[in-house]
């Protein structure tokens, strides 16, 4: 090839390279950005109790009272999130999650959500005992036992151990822990105020357990829903919790709107 031909080839090559760069700039992307890979898909497993199962938010699908309105199902609809296993089950305690749900996570899991602890405290049982006669000895005994359990710190200790176990089984997972909304309008009755105070104490233990696990090296985030339902508690005009105490399926469980509040809170954590 002649020197003239070589020179012409270099000129043509330079023009072609410049054209590619100009096209990329014109469409608002540099060549490196055009080649960027999309964000990875979250391989998601949900663990927990009735709040995570979606009890009361829709038609029960199985014996665990799971529903299609549960926040894990709502998260599954978010782009690049794939709910592999919805293991949450109504009535589950921390030890139940450890015994029957923990095996659902593994090294391939990249996202875990967890809502549990309410059944360990037994708020529903306290209300069932106390509602007929808040001044009864049975009610006073149930409340005292719950308060003693909170003072002992056992719930927080068990939850902390569960979180570390999840992190060990799923070392590549981000674990998002949620707690419970304060259910009743303040001042509605002495009993409901007691339940509200117990809920706040439980939430504090959940938060401490999550922060403790994070401090121990687990990839744990905690988001509190304690005051997320203010204005929509039981006793308000449009509660985001079931308000009919004679309907055990829905009472004190998030409605479909309440489940969406959980979803949004978790998405805020994931975006940070």
Using CA atoms, how far apart are residues 272 and 266, in angstroms rounded to an integer?
10
Active site residue 4: no
Catalytic residue among 46, 90, 232, 253: 253
Q: How many Å is the maximal CA-CA distance in the chain?
A: 107
Identify any residues that bridge with 176 across adjacent strands, giving them in sequence order: 113, 221
Phi, psi for residue 53 in degrees, rounded to 5: -75, -25
- Would you call 50 a catalytic residue per the annotation? yes
Catalytic pick among 50, 67, 90, 224: 50
DSSP string, 96-151: HIIIIIGGG--TT--EEEEE--HHHHTHHHHHHHHSS-TTSHHHHHHHHHHHHHHH
How far is residue 218's CA from residue 23's CA, in Å, rounded to a whole number? 45
SS3 call for 253: coil
**Residues carrying an active site annotation:** 50, 253
């Amino acid at each position: 090839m002649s020197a003239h031909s070589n020179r012409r080839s270099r000129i043509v090559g330079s023009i072609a390279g410049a054209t590619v760069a100009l096209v990329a700039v014109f469409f608002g992307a540099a060549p490196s950005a055009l080649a960027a890979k999309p964000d990875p898909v979250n391989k998601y497993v949900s663990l927990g109790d009735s709040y995570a199962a979606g009890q009361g938010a829709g038609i029960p699908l199985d014996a665990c009272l799971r529903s299609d309105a549960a926040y894990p199902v709502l998260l599954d609809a978010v782009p690049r999130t794939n709910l592999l296993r919805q293991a949450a089950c109504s009535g589950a305690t921390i030890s139940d999650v450890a015994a029957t749900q923990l095996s659902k996570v593994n090294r391939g899991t990249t996202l875990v959500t967890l809502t549990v602890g309410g059944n360990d405290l037994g708020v529903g049982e306290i209300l069932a005992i106390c509602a007929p006669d808040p001044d009864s000895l049975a009610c006073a005994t149930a409340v005292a036992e719950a308060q003693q359990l909170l003072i002992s710190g056992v719930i927080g200790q068990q939850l902390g151990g569960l979180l570390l176990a999840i992190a060990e089984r799923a070392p590549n997972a981000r674990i998002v822990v949620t707690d419970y909304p304060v259910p009743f309008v303040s001042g509605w009755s002495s009993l409901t105020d007691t339940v509200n105070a117990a809920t706040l104490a439980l939430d504090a233990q959940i938060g401490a357990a999550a922060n403790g696990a994070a401090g121990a090296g687990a990839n744990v985030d905690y988001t509190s829903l304690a005051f997320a339902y203010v204005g929509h508690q039981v006793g308000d005009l449009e509660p985001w919790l079931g308000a009919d105490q004679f309907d055990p399926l829905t009472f004190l469980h998030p409605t479909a709107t309440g489940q969406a509040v959980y979803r949004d809170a978790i998405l805020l954590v994931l975006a940070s």
